[in-house]
Amino acid sequence: MQTAPILVIGATGKTGSRIARILTERSHAVRHGSRRADIPFDWENAETWPAALDGVSAAYVSYFPDLAVPGASEKIEALTRAAKAAGVKTLVLLSGRGEAHAEQCEDIVRSAGVDYTLVRCAWFMQNFSEGYLRDPVLDGMIPMPGGAVREPMIDVDDIAEVAVAALTEDGHSGELYELTGPRLMTFEEAAEDLTAATGWPVRHVPISFEEFHAAVAGMAGDFIADVFTGIARETLDGRNEHLTDGVQRALGRPPRDFRDFCRDAAAAGAWKRAA
């Protein structure tokens, strides 16, 4: 077991919060990488990085809001230099499947001069239960562009388990784990599984990318809408319509299915409607 702390950058996010919890449950020392942590880490303030990296054995790197954001590659390159200077031995990068900007950041980590693992992920199942599609699901709809494109959605719990393995076990250095779920799904098929789990009809509402941009802008502003719409245009074109074995290679087991995710999320109250 490692005695030096493991830095989890993005420790309050979907993946980071799970990784921090699992590491803590397994008695690893965890340093939470967030702006409000005791030792803060702020992507927008590089002066916080040396203290956050000091004495750290390994670091999980999740860039908010996404590696597609302009300037992300420069931040990742600067962080890798800071991590190497601090003596960090291992970097585990969260990356996006089918995203050119994410692959540029992967190359930066490959060239950093430290051990690394790349965790390249498909579309998160938890977008329906914790993300921007939760409220629409409560209203009985999935408003998404992309038509009948099939996406092999991945459970964030599987991502967290892979990252924890890479951070704490031997045998993962230099690996690219491309993570998908066990089947290709259209948003219409996802709606069917959500209908079965929630107990009310959920349907896929095909929308244009322009309508998608307007919806995201209404929730998060134009900048985030520009980024997410760019990612949607890039990845919902069929390029990701194939399965990979990343979960199997990293963990020795199959990835979790969307139906199981829906059932368990519903049982945990993810879609509980207000009285």
Element (H, E) at 190: helix 187-198
Domains of the chain (ranges; CATH) run: 6-125+153-181+241-255 (3.40.50.720)
- Which residue in this structure is represented by tokens 């340093």? 31
* DSSP classification of residue 127: G
pLDDT of residue 38: 96
Q: What are the tens digits of pLDDT across the range 88-120? A: 999 999 999 999 999 999 999 999 999 999 999
Three-state secondary structure call for residue 121: strand
Residue 255 DSSP class: P
Dmax (CA) for the chain in angstroms is: 55
User: What per-residue confidence (pLDDT) applies to 275?
Assistant: 62
Question: pLDDT tens digits, residue range 185-197?
Answer: 999 999 999 999 9
The two structure tokens encoding residue 106: 């992967």
- Concatenating the DSSP letter of every residue in 2-66 gives --S-EEEETTTSHHHHHHHHHHHHTT--EEEESTTSSS--BTTBGGGHHHHHTT-SEEEE--SS-
Structure tokens given for 131: 């993300």
Q: Once rounded to an integer, what is the mean pLDDT over residues 263-273?
A: 96
